[in-house]
Amino acid sequence: MTARDGRPLRAFASENGVWRYPVKAEDVSPLYLEALIGYEDRYFYYHAGVNPIAITRAANQGLRNGRVVSGGSTITMQVARILEPHPRTILGKMRQILRAYQLEWHLSKTEILEIYLSYAPFGGTIEGVEAASWAYLGKSSKQLSHSEAALLAVLPQTPSRLRPDRNPEAARKARDKVLKRLAENNIWSSIPIAEAKQEPVVTRSLRIPMSAALMAQRLRNANPSKNKIESTLDADLQSLLEERLKNYFSQLPERSSAALLVVDNQTLEARAYVGSLSFGDEKTLGHVDMVQALRSPGSTLKPFLYGLAMDDGLIHTESLLVDAPQDFGDYRPANFDPIYHGPVSASEALQLSLNVPAVDLLDRVGSERFAARLANAGLPMRMPEGAKPNLSIILGGTGVKLEELVGAFAAFNREGVAGRVRYAKQAAHSDRRILSPGAAWMIREILETHKSNTQNDDILDTSHRKRVAWKTGTSYGFRDAWALGTTPEYTVGVWVGRPDGTPMPGQYGAITALPLMYEVFDSLPRSDQSVLRTEMPKAVKAIDICWPLGRSVQETEAGLCHRQRQGFALINSVPPTWPDRNARVWNAGQLELQIDAQTGLRLSTDCKQTHSQKSLHIARWPSLTTPWLPISLREKTRIPALAADCTEDTLASMETLQIDGPAEKSTLARAPNSTQPISAEFRALGTQDKVKWLVNGQWVADTQAGQKILMKFDTAGVQRITALTDAGAWDEMSLYVLK
């Protein structure tokens, strides 16, 4: 298999173990052809297969010296012996002459010469000038110097004796013999011949190309009848990244492996392909191609979900989402980082890779529909037999391939068009739209401007690097670490893990795969990305959004705009904040109440006294965000108490949850001489629903209504205890824990 510029990446031996690269005459250096014909057969283009003068001269020399001095064989006769070996006897020579005449009768001079170029013996298992040039000189036969051309021209005479890797001095003398004859016959002038004689004969050990080994094996299996496969890879980049990968993994756990893929966005041609850390290494299962392996994608599918939701008109970049403990039937997702953030924008939720907002969004888009859209674009999800896509797929509960992820991720720099990665020059294009140009642009903007929420922010300084839209992922149990990135020119995918599926604790996408992904981008050719960057599509507009309602600033009353956000949305698509999922009375949105103009108390439809009424508009936040709101915003959403003379309305039935436990702002200390953690008992009163308990924003447990919970505190300081129900009822208290 060759690189895109013709350089061999990996060579496969024939059935009998021979290394051979078939080559055309125009693909070989003219210097070599001049040296070969000038030394071996000056009259090659004039005789009919046999040179009678040379044969006669060889016979006379043999009779005078009693041994073979020169063979007298033409190139055509040597091809005849290559195709049909025969003993060195008079009968064998006659048979060789007959075959030479037959070759000249049926083939052109060029065809005969190309057989020699491809099959001549060059020592050991090396056949043909191209294979010999790479094996002995490390270059193509198209790039030979005068000295190198002369050396390779003489090697087939006695290849075992003249091999430069074993007998450099014998090889030098044979080369000089060729140069002398070329000078005598005025084929080369004196200056290049003198320079060629000064050039030392290389003693490079014989090396068979073994780059991009797994991709070469893959293409060979797909094209078993082809002698030469032209790939799309960049030879220099491939070699550089293979070396970088080995150096990068010197500090990672044993049996770690990796795969990476670099794709040109314009053509979706692969420029580098590393299927394993070390091909052939048994410990790391180096024979397993992880570019094609099915692995859990972790969170890497989230950008596609957010983009699809934008196309569906469900969200824009600053839509208000809820990051709080939630149940989706029997499914309870948790964030990778167990801390919850309460109200977050869609862009923040994607940048921080929050799990609960993503599951909530997938529940609204539909799992099966999401899976079908990705499959249509070339990113199918593999589920266990008989299973259907469910909410877990957005957190990695499915199987995908690295090459499919890369082909889809490129869509963010291809105006929403994904496609199949191409490895061979003749491979067909297969493009499918996955997102609209506007949604793809907005997702790319989000992924380009986010900051990693990892411990390696100080190590991974991106301020002076290329502008990359990236997403990481980590599968359950630390089995797969992912990083995908795209620029206007290239898309890069990196997988790190163990091919046998065993965990790598502490190794996750942002800390293991992301730095490697940036090393790959650092290795790519630099260009002016601003020339390639696409401007904001006409289908996208910049917007100022008001929280909590989610409407534009222009459409929102001044008093109802609690927070203002700047972002992007598709034209004619500014969806409001979603209604609460499980709240029975309290619901996100705008509420209009009638209140007493003097007292401010709420009025119902049935009041005994006559009141001076006025309307009150309240912008309500999603109920589950309330514990994360500052006191000032809670006050803005507070519903006034009901006037005493009015009958109860639906708002009066809202639950008022109360935490029963230690007193507010009390101090907890360990019992004297005790080594047990400091603990306290709590329960939630005033609700019939299941209660979620959080400490400092981190979920710790669920209890049934009225059920007690014993909380243990391992850290000292202020502890914020929150009780919360899906219906929106909540209460909060603070304690201080001593060391």
Taking residues 687-698, report their average pLDDT: 87
Catalytic-role residue among 29, 40, 73, 130: 40
Q: How far is CA 126 from CA 35, 37, 141, 643, in A?
A: 20, 21, 14, 99
40 is annotated as an active-site residue: yes
Using alpha carbons only, give the angle 315, 317, 322 rounded to the nearest 5 degrees. 65
What's the pLDDT score for residue 724? 87
Taking residues 495-508, report their average pLDDT: 87
What's the pLDDT score for residue 218? 92
What's the pLDDT score for residue 378? 95
What's the pLDDT score for residue 116? 94
- Spatial CA neighbour of 156 closest among 173, 144, 171: 171
- Provide the residue ranges of all domains of the chain, joining segments of one domain with +: 19-198, 540-570, 589-653, 658-737
**Which position has the higher pLDDT, 277 or 55?**
277
- Torsion sign, CA atoms 228, 231, 237, 240: negative
pLDDT > 70: percent of the chain: 93
The whole-angstrom separation of Cα 424 and Cα 446 is 33
- Spatial CA neighbour of 418 closest among 396, 439, 394, 449: 439
Q: What pTM was estimated for this model as a whole?
A: 0.83
What b/e readout covers 502-530, taking b as 16+ CB neighbours within 10 angstroms?
eebeebbbbbbbbbbbbbbbebbeeeeee
The whole-angstrom separation of Cα 543 and Cα 656 is 37
Reported confidence tier of residue 205, pLDDT bands at 50, 70, 90: low
Task: Give the tens place of pLDDT for each residue, 264-285.
Answer: 999 999 999 999 988 877 777 8
The whole-angstrom separation of Cα 37 and Cα 44 is 7
Reported confidence tier of residue 199, pLDDT bands at 50, 70, 90: very high
The whole-angstrom separation of Cα 584 and Cα 563 is 26
What's the pLDDT score for residue 725? 85
DSSP state of 728: S
What's the pLDDT score for residue 572? 85
H or E stretch covering 304: helix 302-311
Place of tokens 């000292």: 716
For residue 53, pLDDT beyond 60:
yes
The whole-angstrom separation of Cα 119 and Cα 126 is 9
What's the pLDDT score for residue 706? 84
170 is written with which tokens? 């014998």
Q: Determine contact, residues 720/727, Cβ cutoff 8 Å.
A: no
Place of tokens 């024979």: 287
For residue 738, pLDDT beyond 70:
yes
What's the pLDDT score for residue 211? 87
What is the pairing mode between strands 490-497 and 480-486? antiparallel
Task: Give the tens place of pLDDT for each residue, 713-734.
Answer: 988 899 999 998 877 788 889 9
DSSP state of 136: I
Reported confidence tier of residue 456, pLDDT bands at 50, 70, 90: very low
Quote the distance between the C-alpha of residue 550 and its chain's center: 34
What's the pLDDT score for residue 441? 97
For residue 67, pLDDT beyond 50:
no
Place of tokens 């990236």: 470
For residue 86, pLDDT beyond 80:
no
How is domain 19-198 classified at the architecture level of CATH? Orthogonal Bundle (1.10)
Reported confidence tier of residue 347, pLDDT bands at 50, 70, 90: very high
Q: How far is CA 546 from CA 560, 563, 572, in A?
A: 8, 6, 17
The whole-angstrom separation of Cα 470 and Cα 358 is 17
Task: Give the tens place of pLDDT for each residue, 163-184.
Answer: 888 899 999 999 999 999 999 9
Question: Going by C-beta distance under 8 Å and a sequence separation of 6 or more, which residues neighbour residue 549?
Answer: 556, 560, 561, 576, 577, 589, 590, 619
Place of tokens 């109440």: 593
What's the pLDDT score for residue 451? 60
Question: Going by C-beta distance under 8 Å and a sequence separation of 6 or more, which residues neighbour residue 203?
Answer: 164, 165, 168
Quote the distance between the C-alpha of residue 655 and its chain's center: 49
The residues pairing with 735 across neighbouring beta strands, listed in sequence order, are 719
- Spatial CA neighbour of 298 closest among 170, 202, 392: 392
Q: Residue 696, Cβ neighbours under 10 Å: how many?
A: 15
For residue 616, pLDDT beyond 90:
yes
- Spatial CA neighbour of 304 closest among 453, 118, 515, 471: 471
Q: Determine contact, residues 620/593, Cβ cutoff 8 Å.
A: no
What's the pLDDT score for residue 58? 57
For residue 48, pLDDT beyond 90:
no
What's the pLDDT score for residue 455? 43
Reported confidence tier of residue 57, pLDDT bands at 50, 70, 90: low
Catalytic-role residue among 29, 140, 276, 299: 299
Task: Give the tens place of pLDDT for each residue, 99-116.
Answer: 888 998 999 999 999 999
What's the pLDDT score for residue 51? 79
82-96, 504-518, 709-723, range with the lowest pLDDT: 82-96
What's the pLDDT score for residue 61? 54
Please provide the DSSP assignment of 371-422 as one string.
Answer: HHHHHHTT-PPB--TT----GGGGGT-SBB-HHHHHHHHGGGGTTTEEE--B
Q: Which of 153-162, 283-292, 357-366, 578-587 has the highest mean pLDDT?
A: 357-366
- Spatial CA neighbour of 75 closest among 191, 157, 147: 157
159-168, 218-227, 277-286, 489-498, range with the lowest pLDDT: 277-286
For residue 531, pLDDT beyond 70:
no
The residues pairing with 484 across neighbouring beta strands, listed in sequence order, are 471, 493
186-190, 225-229, 521-525, range with the lowest pLDDT: 225-229
Reported confidence tier of residue 335, pLDDT bands at 50, 70, 90: confident
Question: Going by C-beta distance under 8 Å and a sequence separation of 6 or more, which residues neighbour residue 630?
Answer: none
What's the pLDDT score for residue 69? 45
Taking residues 491-514, report their average pLDDT: 89
What's the pLDDT score for residue 453? 44
For residue 657, pLDDT beyond 70:
yes
Reported confidence tier of residue 204, pLDDT bands at 50, 70, 90: low
- Spatial CA neighbour of 38 closest among 147, 154, 159: 154
Burial category of 700 from C-beta neighbours within 10 Å (exposed 0-12, middle 13-18, buried 19 and up)? middle
The whole-angstrom separation of Cα 27 and Cα 129 is 11
Q: How far is CA 569 from CA 323, 361, 407, in A?
A: 21, 17, 25
What's the pLDDT score for residue 454? 44
Q: How far is CA 457 from CA 67, 244, 443, 493, 518, in A?
A: 78, 22, 22, 20, 13
Question: Going by C-beta distance under 8 Å and a sequence separation of 6 or more, which residues neighbour residue 625?
Answer: 322, 324, 342, 343, 548
Mean pLDDT value across the chain: 88
Task: Give the tens place of pLDDT for each residue, 413-438.
Answer: 999 999 999 999 888 889 999 999 99
| Intra-chain end-to-end CA distance of the chain, in Å | 66
What is the pairing mode between strands 730-737 and 480-486? unpaired
Q: Determine contact, residues 74/97, Cβ cutoff 8 Å.
A: no
**Which position has the higher pLDDT, 505 or 604?**
604
For residue 386, pLDDT beyond 90:
no
The whole-angstrom separation of Cα 738 and Cα 498 is 44
Taking residues 280-305, report their average pLDDT: 91
What's the pLDDT score for residue 16? 72
How is domain 658-737 classified at the architecture level of CATH? Sandwich (2.60)
459 is written with which tokens? 């190590």
Reported confidence tier of residue 72, pLDDT bands at 50, 70, 90: low
Task: Give the tens place of pLDDT for each residue, 3-32.
Answer: 898 888 887 777 677 888 888 999 899 999
For residue 603, pLDDT beyond 90:
yes
The whole-angstrom separation of Cα 208 and Cα 226 is 19
